[in-house]
Chain A
Amino acid sequence: AQSVTQLGSHVSVSEGALVLLRCNYSSSVPPYLFWYVQYPNQGLQLLLKYTSAATLVKGINGFEAEFKKSETSFHLTKPSAHMSDAAEYFCAVSDRGNGNNRLAFGKGNQVVVIP
């Protein structure tokens, strides 16, 4: 079964600094990969997704992620953190073509932005 690993439950970053959230996946077949953001008391919102097109994926709010098959990684980055980026971020994986589109989520990273 597919799975993702997100290390470091809490990530602190200074305003204006690089945001880097790491995600490594395990999948027996080429995966679909996703990053979701969750603001307090809200549902999950899709930031970006990889579905086999370009390996560098650009999403909303200035975020991007790069699919690296050799490293089984899909790390999320943003060049300059903003206070509004404080939220919880989840990486998720779905096997392609398995017909059920079941998402397996990581445990999440709580991002704190320091002024």
Chain B
Amino acid sequence: EAGVVQSPRYKIIEKKQPVAFWCNPISGHNTLYWYRQNLGQGPELLIRYENEEAVDDSQLPKDRFSAERLKGVDSTLKIQPAELGDSAVYLCASSPGTTYNEQFFGPGTRLTVL
């Protein structure tokens, strides 16, 4: 069974530029999470989807961050415009459902903003 797929793996951009990350969860997993992991820290939740609905986006900086999961499968996380402080690893995770307690993580996208 394929795991969570993320692309790109690495991205370097200049500040004020837009950037997007893509995630394909494990087949059949209804719940999808986006996390941000700053250097030397644990991951922090940005947003959680149940199918196509964003049910927990309280941690998402909505002035510059947006996300979508149009058909309840793939998801895209966007930053526009990027700031220096956005440099981090962006992790996508999925699980069969909210009540299922294990989350399966993708390899992440390492973003560097110059």
Chain A residues near B (Cβ < 8 Å): 9, 32, 34, 36, 41-46, 49, 51, 90, 92, 94, 99-103, 105-108
Contacts and interface: CB of A to CB of B under 8 A. Distances in A.
B106 A43 contact: yes
A103 to B, nearest CB: 7
Main secondary structure of the interface of B (DSSP, over half): loop
B107 interface: yes
Counting chain B residues whose Cβ lies within 8 A of the other chain, the interface size class is 20 to 34
Given A43-B91, A44-B91, A101-B98, 20 more contacts: A41-B9, A41-B107, A41-B110, A44-B105, A51-B101, A90-B43, A92-B42, A94-B101, A99-B99, A100-B48, A100-B55, A100-B56, A101-B48, A101-B95, A101-B103, A102-B48, A103-B45, A105-B42, A107-B41, A108-B42
B31 interface: yes
Interface of B: 4, 9, 31, 40-45, 48, 55-56, 91, 93, 95, 98-108, 110
A90 B44 CA distance: 12
A106 B98 contact: no
Contacts, number: 60
A103 B44 CA distance: 8
A105 B44 contact: yes
B105 A49 contact: no
B56 A42 contact: no
A43 B45 contact: no
A101 B41 contact: no
A42 B41 contact: no
